[in-house]
Amino acid sequence: MADTPQRYKTRSQATVVALVGAGFCILMVGMIVSAKHAETIVFAGLCLAVTVPIGLRTVFSELAVYDHGIKVRNPFSSFELGWDEIDDFDIGRARFLPMVCVIRLKGDGKRHATAIQERTNFPDGSAQAVVDALNAELATRRAHSRL
């Protein structure tokens, strides 16, 4: 598993963000092409400069499982955790997101992986099933480290 990590993400989230982002880009490029005023070009260009990187980071957000631990790529942050730092995985609230993967750390902290969100209205798999798989992987890692 070291060379090819298991990657987890909510595919419907990536698809929706990509489609909405593409529509927004088409709209902004159309504004630039048909603009009669420099202010319109600057406005549309700034909108693209701000939203395209955020949209791409959201589309490519993921939680990757490696032998040494996990790597999480969120739209505004990335971090790595070793298996020995993680207490468990769960679904819960993280800031304004109501149902995302919450990584409880040993001690008192927690982190989140926005790429794994519960979306009951999309048929691309349950975030709870992903959390269950991550907890099973964590249990396996703990059992191996005791040997």
pLDDT tens-digit series, residues 3-61: 688 888 877 778 888 999 999 999 999 999 999 999 999 999 999 999 999 999 989 99
Among the residue ranges 48-52, 106-110, 143-147, the one predicted with the least confidence is 143-147
d(CA 23, CA 48): 12
Please answer whether residues 111 and 117 qualify as being in contact, where contact means their C-beta atoms are separated by less than 8 angstroms: no
7 within a domain of the structure (yes/no): no
pTM: 0.79
The number of distinct structural domains making up the chain is: 2
Q: What is the pLDDT of residue 1?
A: 43
Q: Pairing mode, if any, of strands 110-117 and 6-8?
A: unpaired
Q: For residues 77 and 103, state if they share a domain.
A: yes
16 and 68, same domain (yes or no): no
Domain limits for position 104: 61-146
Percentage, residues of the chain above pLDDT 90: 54
Same domain, 72 and 30: no
127 with 67, same domain? yes
The enclosing domain of 70 has a CATH number of 2.30.29
- CA separation, residue 64 to residues 10, 24, 31, 80, 128 (Å): 13, 29, 38, 9, 16
